[in-house]
Amino acid sequence: MPRSRKSRSRIALNDDAAVSPGWTSPIKQANRLKDEVYREMLLLEMHRPGSEMGLALALLRAIVQSESLSDHRGFRQWLKSICSVGLNLIEVSLEEGCKCTLDAGHPDSRPGSED
């Protein structure tokens, strides 16, 4: 027996795919931003090239979009705590990159230059 239009529209409203693409619930938006930040942190820990910039951009994107989330489920508090961790990761990674570059040019670090 076919369903009426009324029941189909009720089902469509409950379906995630039926939500218009221009609007995202604050919960989904906050979770998407958190996922992006955590993904970039993981890439940085895996020493992926350019991941410092990726993490910085993800944090900046979360900061900019936090204004529109109306502090949903403590997003701003999470952002405040995760920014310090993220910035620390970026600084450490950049310092390690500089040390590697400097060590590569040092004569004692070349293979076969033992005393």
Q: Higher model confidence: residue 1 or residue 82?
A: 82
Mean of per-residue pLDDT scores for the chain: 76
pLDDT value of residue 37:
97
Domain boundaries, the chain: 24-104
Query: Given its phi and psi angles, is residue 24 left (phi above 0), alpha (psi -120 to 50 degrees) or beta?
Result: beta
The pLDDT tens digits of the residues spanning 9-47 come to 444 444 444 444 567 788 888 999 999 999 999 999 999
Q: Is the pLDDT of residue 62 over 60?
A: yes
Length, in residues, of the chain: 115
Helix (H) or strand (E) holding 55: helix 51-66
Q: Higher model confidence: residue 44 or residue 67?
A: 44
